Amino acid sequence: MELEWPSYLDEYEKLVIRMNTPRVVIDNAVCSTATLVKIDSARKQSILLEAVQVLTDLNLSIRKAYISSDGRWFMDVFHVTDENGNKLTDESVLRYIEQSLGTYNSVRTDRFTGLTALELTGTDRPGLLSEVFAVLADLQCNIVEAKVWTHNGRIASLIFVKDVDSGSPIEDSQKISKIEGRLRNVLKGDNDIRGARTTVAMANVHTERRLHQMMFADRDYERKSFIETPVSSPEVTVQNWLERGYSIVNVECKDRRKLLFDVVCTLTDMQYVVFHATIDSRKDRAYMEFYIRHTDGSPISSEAERQRVIQCVQASIERRASEGVKLELCTGDRQGLLADVTRTFRENGLNVARAEISTTNSDMALNVFYVTDAAGNAVDAKTIEEVRQRIGLNNLIVKETQTSYTKGDDTESAGVGGAMLLSLGSIVRRNLYNLGLIRSYS
């Protein structure tokens, strides 16, 4: 279809638009196991994050990726599969990817139109989510969608609500003040160290990026003395390549969906630009290498900054780590449902480590909870069955038991990981050499 230009544009303006519009090619022929999504575009701030965000919002898995920039031009190749690990064949999905990446209008907020967003951060504790949902039910707030993350003893939640009576967003200033005050009191509890934060705003956000920003602002990446460093923490190293003015970030951890988004999101919000990167996943392990600079063009300049990058990248990966038992609740939605369900969890000694709350157009609640015991350990099967009996065996289903990131126990896995990191470095350097950006390294 030929592009029709508005009559007021001159030829120079048309050329500028063509040059700055990303070129997207989707190829199902080159690779037998994945669909290739190729993007050529003029460079701009956060362009990589926007591309990854489009793909992850579709719940696609990025199995491999090659990112490179030459001057003002940016080139990406993503190897993606669907939720079942298959190549993409649905024409409507392929068209959506082309259109979305071709415009980089990736923040889709239509489903939040007419809702009020509540942003909450504070000290996590057993039963906290139950108290939050109880307050919202008491204040006649209908929860339409919510996401809850916990990490390093902190909690961040983004909750989208509307008024029960009117079905409209909450705009009354007195009610907003009341919601903020009561939620702040709940979050503070008796032993809040850093202070709780509550914000009420009209919904216009990308939820998962906003959660990363909230936890980053809350400094959840700082490990306190009373929090033991997990032995399964992702391996992150940072070193400078002074000859070319890059800082190199290497990551090895368990692979999962949205992993690349989480890391790139944090690097972007820390004001770093990814110039080159290689991502690969094998045997459920992910290996990532990023060549970064500050937005002002400088590499990491101090040991304190290097340690901060390591901590923040580790935190970005761990926030979505799903420890405990995954429970899915599917039932008719009603006022106070979440308050009742999470109260049942609390009364049976269960703590919600992560939650994803949603409702359908047919007023069905589709909720996912990751639960542990009060100490963060695994829950015994008997307790889970008692909870299911109270909530409804057909409504609350045990989906799977998940643990956080684990290092390979066998020496073969460790060897593959080390060899892969070296291999990735060679690939990136080879790409830079082919682009004429460095001399031969052989």
Same domain assignment for residues 130 and 276: no
Distance between CA atoms of 128 and 189, rounded to whole angstroms?
A: 9
Which CATH number fits the domain that encloses residue 71? 3.30.70.260
Check residue 432 and give its pLDDT: 45
Check residue 107 and give its pLDDT: 47
How many domains, in total, are found in the chain? 3
Model confidence pLDDT, tens digit, residues 418-441 = 333 444 444 444 444 444 444 433
Give the single-character DSSP code of 364: E
Q: Which domain holds residue 328?
A: 114-204+321-402
Same domain assignment for residues 328 and 383: yes
Q: Is residue 285 part of a domain?
A: yes
Same domain assignment for residues 197 and 119: yes
Check residue 234 and give its pLDDT: 92
Same domain assignment for residues 193 and 123: yes
Check residue 233 and give its pLDDT: 79
Q: Is residue 420 part of a domain?
A: yes
Check residue 421 and give its pLDDT: 40
Same domain assignment for residues 47 and 178: no
Q: Is residue 164 part of a domain?
A: yes
Same domain assignment for residues 29 and 134: no
Please report where in the chains the tokens 């990551």 appear, as a residue.
251
Same domain assignment for residues 293 and 340: no
Distance between CA atoms of 348 and 345, rounded to whole angstroms?
A: 5
Distance between CA atoms of 72 and 435, rounded to whole angstroms?
A: 13
Same domain assignment for residues 246 and 369: no
Check residue 47 and give its pLDDT: 83
**DSSP per residue over 43-71, as a string?**
--TTHHHHHHHHHHHTT-EEEEEEEEEET
Q: What tokens does 20 get?
A: 């700055």
Check residue 158 and give its pLDDT: 95
Sequence letter at residue 254: K
Same domain assignment for residues 270 and 309: yes
Check residue 27 and give its pLDDT: 95
Same domain assignment for residues 47 and 68: yes
Low pLDDT (below 70) residues in the chain? 1-20, 71, 103-111, 190-194, 202-203, 224-232, 322, 401-442
Check residue 322 and give its pLDDT: 67
Q: Is residue 267 part of a domain?
A: yes
Same domain assignment for residues 314 and 415: yes
Check residue 189 and give its pLDDT: 74
Q: Is residue 67 part of a domain?
A: yes
Q: Is residue 219 part of a domain?
A: no
Same domain assignment for residues 370 and 418: no
Measured over all CA atoms, what is the biggest interatomic distance in the chain, rounded to whole angstroms? Answer: 72
Give the single-character DSSP code of 29: S
Could you count the other beta carbons within 10 Å of the beta carbon of residue 10? Answer: 8
Which residue among 83, 103, 123 closes a domain?
103
Q: Is residue 225 part of a domain?
A: no
Q: Is residue 5 part of a domain?
A: no
Check residue 317 and give its pLDDT: 96
